[in-house]
Structure 1
Amino acid sequence: MANRRSYHAPGDVPGTAAVFPLSGALLLPRAELPLNVFEPRYLEMVDDALAGDRLIVMVQPDETKPETAHGPVPYKVGCIGRITQFSETGDGRYLITLTGICRVRMGAEETTDTPYRRFAIDASDFGADFDESAGEEDVDRTALLSALAAFLEANHLEADWDGIQQAGTETLVNALCVMSPYGALEKQALLEAGTLKERAEMLVAITQMLLARMPGDDGESSLQ
């Protein structure tokens, strides 16, 4: 059945897909992104995806470019994901979870009669995304956990450190990127990072810069 298809290489990814343009939303390979869907056009998109291959591309709108007649211009890189959880609320919303498959380059927009948009996509530049745990040994996990600890402390937050310590490095890096409270530009940079090591280093750098701007109890920067 189409909705049980596995994806092991760029050639397994279709050449076109429904697109959900959402600023601040980041999906990465094998990471999970929960979504609250309520607009009628995207409710229809989810219905169609569930009836077919369950695939949706998450991509951020490029807000530096003027909108077209069809809507915002997407960034050149997004991530295709599969609906792995679905529930419907009493007020007609859908609560879904997308699990990332791989990054894709955005192509031309299709002409369709659907209320949502579809684009040509190409996964050929992202074959490494199918290699689970690739590059984990190159990640400075200590630096990553130190940055996370500093962020949590500065924002008076708690975390399940037992679960964090047990998580695989790829899982940890990508999950932290998806959950990060950073802006669209930072999230796009994390998405487009060439390797897991580069993504982890970028996440640490962004976190440190944010912490450096936060006032300490004495009015000075919280990091020196």
Structure 2
Amino acid sequence: MSSREDGAITRLSVFPLPGALLFPGLHLPLHIFEPRYRAMVSDAMARDRRIAMIQPRPGAEEGGPPALFEIGCVGRIAEVEALDDGRYNIVLEGLALFRVVRELEVTTPFRQVEAALLPPMPDEALSLGARASLEMESKRFASAQGYAVDWDAVGRLDDTSLVNGIAQIAPFDVAAKQALLEAPDIATRCELIVQLMRFFGRHDGEERVTLQ
């Protein structure tokens, strides 16, 4: 059975988490400890194993939960470990991006939305120059941040996996992460990653520059 139907309107349980992106085909490990999200995992396991990742917009609405960005990614629980105290360790596998149509009024402790699934991004290769620029800037950024990276393994990744993988784990702010998620194609996302690494890489210390 297909895990998606482009343009279909579907009901999704959402996990609003700033800085956490999921892309179709990639995996996101999560430690679930809040009671409302433990309830969400239990509900998902009893139904279709789907949980939708979405970022909340910065700043909470007075007297209510923070507003959500319009675009997120629905994932399927590919692995689950239920701990004795009720917490979960799960791994989500990205299925499809979605656009929020409206938030639903629900009695569950977790939020739910009505959403439209978006078509997959075209499977296009980067130019040799764009790929080289991305790898070069990634090495500079990783060195400046003190990250240990297996660059041989990175070099074996296909363009889509490399670009989306960097976008998913890069330590950028919420606005930057959302811009990466909403990029219309791999080339645009790649170019934006390079720009962001140069931008964030120029600033050190406690005064962190953001795009918000």
TM-score by length of 1: 0.84
Q: Which amino acid aligns with 1:15?
A: T
Q: CA deviation at 1:108?
A: 1.4
Whether 2:119 is the aligned partner of 1:127: answer yes
Q: CA deviation at 1:47?
A: 0.8
3-state SS of the aligned residue for 2:24? Answer: coil
Q: CA deviation at 1:138?
A: 4.4
Q: Which residue of 2 aligns with 1:206?
A: 196
- Of 147, 159, 177, 2:167 maps to 177
> How far apart, in 1, do the equivalents of 2:93 and 2:20 lie?
13
| Per-residue CA distance 1:182-223 (angstroms, 9 max, x = gap) | 1111101101111111111111110011122248xxxxxxxx
Q: Which residue of 2 aligns with 1:34?
A: 29
After the TM superposition, which of the residue ranges 28-37 and 152-161 deviates more from structure 2? Answer: 152-161
Q: Which has the higher helix share?
A: 1
Q: Which residue of 1 aligns with 2:2?
A: 6
Pair 1:214–1:86, CA change in 2 (3 A): same
Q: Runs of 4+ in structure 1 displaced over 4 angstroms?
A: none
Q: Which residue of 2 aligns with 1:143?
A: 133
> How far apart, in 2, do the equivalents of 1:55 and 1:180 lie?
24
- Of 84, 87, 91, 2:78 maps to 84
> How far apart, in 2, do the equivalents of 1:21 and 1:8 lie?
21
Pair 1:67–1:121, CA change in 2 (3 A): farther
Structure 1: 5+ residue stretches without partners: 216-224
> How far apart, in 2, do the equivalents of 1:33 and 1:14 lie?
24
After the TM superposition, which of the residue ranges 195-204 and 108-117 deviates more from structure 2? Answer: 108-117
On the 8 A contact 1:84/1:98 being kept in 2, the answer is yes
On the 8 A contact 2:126/2:186 being kept in 1, the answer is no
**1:23-102 → structure 2 map (5 Å cutoff):** 23-64=18-59, 66=61, 69=64, 71-102=65-96
- Give the superposed CA RMSD: 1.9
| Per-residue CA distance 1:27-71 (angstroms, 9 max, x = gap) | 1111211111111111111111111111111111112562564x2
On the 8 A contact 2:141/2:197 being kept in 1, the answer is yes
Pairs aligned (count): 204
> How far apart, in 2, do the equivalents of 1:8 and 1:138 lie?
30
Q: CA deviation at 1:90?
A: 3.8
Q: Which amino acid aligns with 2:3?
A: Y
On the 8 A contact 1:67/1:73 being kept in 2, the answer is no
3-state SS of the aligned residue for 1:158? Answer: coil
Whether 2:101 is the aligned partner of 1:107: answer yes
3-state SS of the aligned residue for 1:42? Answer: helix
On the 8 A contact 1:32/1:175 being kept in 2, the answer is no
On the 8 A contact 1:109/1:119 being kept in 2, the answer is yes
Q: Which amino acid aligns with 1:76?
A: E
On the 8 A contact 2:172/2:200 being kept in 1, the answer is no
Structure 2: 5+ residue stretches without partners: 206-212
**1:180-199 → structure 2 map (5 Å cutoff):** 180-199=170-189
3-state SS of the aligned residue for 1:128? Answer: coil
